[in-house]
Copies of this chain bind each other. A is one copy, B any other.
């Protein structure tokens, strides 16, 4: 009987009684072939448990009738699902759902014991203990598929925002709400001008490398040609490529302590041993650097997070140390375009281009969402990095590079930088005005440091949270036990008015904390 019967009318069957009126349907209006639609629907029904293992399917004639399609459509669908293992035939008695496994969607229903054994809700894969330090921004470690809604913006830089919304003073983000929309559109129209490539150059689009060479010359006084530049996806990517090229598991990699968490993570994830190197108010302390580091990651223009600038004599001693020990110095220039008082000192790279690699990024100047940065290095080292990049199939998307080249060539980025420089300077001034001598770090960048007594930090952060202010501690930036305590305050994510309000909250809480425990506190 089953599929081959021709003498039965629609909807008549022999035992066992098969399902009729399956929860499936097809739509002739779709571009997808009917038999493919039917396969989809049947698989869905089998996964969801609407069709259970061992159940008998309708005859092709019956189902064709239900769906008002030709019998061939159903036959093709059944054949495909049979070939795939979803259905099985039992000799002379029809088509049955094979013994299948749990639904794909967790939570769609209790797992049914299938031929693969009882499935459980526990993750099947044993995960090792994490070694990487998270940012703390993922909510409960889970992503829920929805972007965290941005605080409402009233359309003006410096707007007040709505009462009651959170003010985010955590560091690491630039202000992305004030940008030239026409320039942005123009850049992405330019991106479309680049036909899809089939063999991207690991060093990046020549046009962008030229534009970056000009940008580096104008904004940092660094004189290099495109042969010294590789386009990356940002600082993390640049550092990771250098690490993958240079380091072998067990090699020692120096990081600033406290310092940039991502740098530590990148090194650790390449199997390197982290060597934390102390910093002071002037940046990394050179005397006493270990002699066995393969690489040292440093932020000499504006130490992250303490905010100091490495003075010239210390730069020279650092390079002498590197020459003596054979270490590579990785210089992260992450926010060097944002100095509000004096011109920056020359990059370490310019002082010893064979022993230093410079990393730059648009993450803090434009947006972390764009994903463009650069490595500046001697061509021989770049060639080795290019081989690594090619081996790992790592690249920066061509259209993104094209869009950024447009922004650079038209001067849009530099105009943006000038505008942002003024805005960030005002915000920093507001913080200093309210928090006064507590504020540490150069008049630069998008963050300041506020030192606090160790015992006071956690309570202050929690009290601030209750009052709608999100803060980040200095502790998070340490690899080992923190020696300094306080807050790292970023002013890239909040408007001036929000900053004033939030800084006043911090000032009040800090005064209380410094006054110490007392009646009523």
Contacts and interface: CB of A to CB of B under 8 A. Distances in A.
Given A44-B223, A223-B47, A137 B198 contact: no
Contacts of A381: 123, 125, 127
A135 B399 contact: no
Contacts of A116: 319-320, 323, 351-352
Interface stretch (A89-97, A244-252, A280-288, A421-429): A244-252
A146 B395 contact: no
A290 interface: no
Contacts of A191: 188, 191, 399
Interface string A313-339: 000000110010010100000000000
Interface string A181-211: 0001101110110111111111101100100
Given A32-B218, A43-B221, A188-B192, A392 B262 contact: yes
B176 A196 contact: yes
A1 interface: no
B249 A104 contact: no
A291 interface: no
Nearest to A86: B346
A130 interface: yes
A43 B386 CA distance: 29
Given A192-B189, A390-B135, A369 B200 contact: yes
B354 A386 contact: no
Interface stretch (A230-238, A434-442, A475-483, A503-511): A230-238
A391 interface: yes
B224 A195 contact: no
Nearest to A418: B31
A85 interface: yes
Contacts of A351: 85, 101, 116
B343 A390 contact: no
A43 B179 CA distance: 33
A378 interface: yes
Contacts of A383: 141-143
Q: What 8 pairs across the A-B complex have the smallest Cβ distances? A: A196-B367, A132-B391, A236-B393, A188-B192, A369-B398, A124-B354, A371-B397, A197-B369
Given A84-B221, A176-B195, 12 more contacts: A43-B223, A104-B353, A124-B354, A134-B391, A135-B390, A141-B386, A143-B386, A173-B198, A187-B192, A194-B369, A198-B367, A236-B394
Interface of A: 31-32, 36, 39-40, 43-44, 47, 80, 83-86, 101-102, 104-106, 116-117, 119, 123-128, 130-135, 137-138, 141-148, 150, 173-177, 179, 184-185, 187-189, 191-192, 194-203, 205-206, 209, 217-218, 221-228, 233-237, 240, 244-250, 261-262, 265-266, 269-271, 312, 319-320, 323, 326, 328, 342-343, 345-346, 350-355, 366-371, 378-384, 386-388, 390-400, 403, 411, 414, 492-493
